């Protein structure tokens, strides 16, 4: 198997967009142009493109993919009046089958507006609605609980402790369909790995380890130690530990994701991460191009070959 280590497979992936295929699964439109008809057309096109992307990925051995949050535009917005779940039930199920039969790992990442630790209950309410939509997509695809929805802790609101506590309090009471898929990710400015681990200790959410954010914001844990700690938070039903990977784009502001994969840095990352099992999401701007390059590096890395022989699976 590609990139095998520790008896498991390292899956490598990229988020949301494929630049080779000439289609987009995240087409949307302005709220002012909303109509049921427009919605139906757009979702049909998005699902068709998603299917193409997943097929491309399978054919290239890219077995980890983040599905765009824009698959169904305005899904959690009050304007939504189209029964997209029923209308596209068959398509979702088909895509889900393709995912399962290909052994593809799936994640979703609601964006910055989803803040379940906000002091404003209105913001929390809208965030929960958005999370329910994400869970619905994965449920309609009939994916198991290894398909995850990743969010950050959220804002500080001038009170770190209070904000962490509020995250726990609000997460705890989320609908079970959301909670069983929810994972919390360390960010580069506010809440590092240590805070996410505390949240895990309190409410049991797995911690998605973002290696680049960790470089920028940590409490001194080495990569190996961090992977130990994050890895322990993933239970059997959660699947292999998910890890986000990127590196600094030189000459750009701190935290800017690289435009393309730096093979030497990635090779070193793979080496330093041994012997941890993980599925790696490459947050690199050129998407599948870097994923293919990463796959080549993982396949050809002699240390991985040694590891494979050593583990004898």
Residues of the shown chain interacting with DNA in the complex, contacts defined by CB under 7 A: 17, 24, 26-33, 69-70, 73-77, 111-113, 115, 118, 120, 122-123, 126, 130, 154-158, 189-190, 253, 255-257, 285
Beta carbon of residue 312, minimum distance to DNA (angstroms, whole number): 40
Rounded to a whole number of angstroms, the minimum distance from the CB of residue 130 to DNA is: 5
Q: In this complex, which beta carbon is closest to DNA, that of residue 26 or of residue 260? A: 26
CB-wise, 70 or 142, nearer to DNA? 70
* d(C-alpha 284, C-alpha 245), whole Å: 8
The pair of three-digit structure tokens given for residue 309, joined into one six-digit string? 């022989």
3-class SS of residue 284? coil
Q: Which is nearer to DNA, 3 or 73 (CB)?
A: 73
Closest separation between CB of residue 278 and DNA, Å? 21
Query: Whole-number minimum distance, CB 94 to DNA, in Å?
Result: 22
Cα 280 to Cα 268: distance, rounded to the nearest angstrom: 14
Q: Before 151, cis peptide (omega within 30)? A: no
Q: How far is the CB of 298 from DNA (least distance, A)?
A: 23
CB closer to DNA out of 21 and 229: 21
User: By C-beta, is 10 or 261 nearer to DNA?
Assistant: 261
CA distance 309 to 46: 42
Q: Whose structure tokens read 């919605």? A: 39
CA distances from 208 to 126, 168, 249, 280, 312 (A): 23, 16, 22, 10, 28
Local structure of residue 159 (DSSP, 8 states): -
Q: Which is nearer to DNA, 105 or 166 (CB)?
A: 166
CA proximity to 197, closest of 146, 262, 153: 153
Name the residue nearer to DNA (CB basis): 2 or 255: 255
Which string of DSSP letters, residue by residue, matches 132-190? HHHHHHHHHTT--TTSEEEEE----TT-HHHHHHHHHHHHHTS-HHHHTTEEEE--SSS
Give the pair of three-digit tokens for residue 33. 């142009």
Residues shown for the chain: 313
Residues 300 and 210: their CA atoms lie apart, in Å, by 24
b/e 284-300 (16+ beta carbons within 10 angstroms → b): bbbbbbbbbbbbebbee
Q: What is the closest distance, in whole angstroms, from the C-beta atom of residue 132 to DNA in the complex?
A: 11
CB 124 to DNA: min, Å: 9
């Amino acid at each position: 198997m590609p990139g095998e280590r520790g008896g498991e497979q390292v899956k490598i992936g990229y988020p949301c967009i494929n630049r080779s295929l000439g289609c987009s699964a995240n087409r949307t439109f302005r709220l002012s142009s909303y109509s049921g008809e427009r919605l139906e057309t757009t979702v049909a096109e998005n699902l068709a493109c998603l299917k193409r992307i997943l097929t491309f990925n399978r054919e290239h051995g890219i077995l980890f993919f983040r599905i765009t949050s824009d698959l169904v535009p305005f899904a959690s917005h009050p304007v939504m009046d189209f029964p997209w779940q029923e209308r596209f039930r068959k398509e979702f199920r088909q895509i889900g089958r393709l995912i399962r039969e290909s052994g593809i790992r799936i994640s979703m990442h609601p964006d910055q507006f989803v803040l379940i630790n906000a002091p404003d209950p209105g913001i929390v309410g809208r965030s929960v609605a958005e999370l329910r939509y994400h869970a619905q997509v994965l449920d309609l695809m009939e994916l198991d609980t290894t398909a995850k929805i990743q969010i950050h802790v959220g804002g500080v609101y001038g009170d770190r402790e209070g904000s962490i506590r509020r995250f726990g309090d609000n997460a705890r009471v989320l609908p079970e369909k959301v909670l069983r898929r929810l994972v919390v990710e360390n960010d580069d400015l506010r809440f590092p790995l240590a805070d996410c681990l505390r949240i895990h200790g309190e409410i049991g959410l797995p911690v998605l380890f973002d290696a680049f954010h960790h470089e920028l914001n940590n409490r001194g844990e080495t990569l190996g130690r961090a992977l130990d700690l994050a890895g322990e938070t993933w239970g059997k039903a959660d699947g292999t530990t998910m890890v986000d990977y990127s590196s600094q784009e030189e000459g750009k502001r701190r935290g800017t994701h690289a435009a393309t994969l730096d093979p030497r840095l990635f090779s070193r990352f793979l080496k330093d991460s041994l012997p941890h099992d993980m599925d790696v999401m490459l947050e690199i701007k050129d998407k599948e191009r870097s994923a293919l390059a990463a796959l080549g590096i993982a396949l050809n890395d002699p240390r991985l070959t040694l590891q494979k022989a050593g583990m004898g699976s």
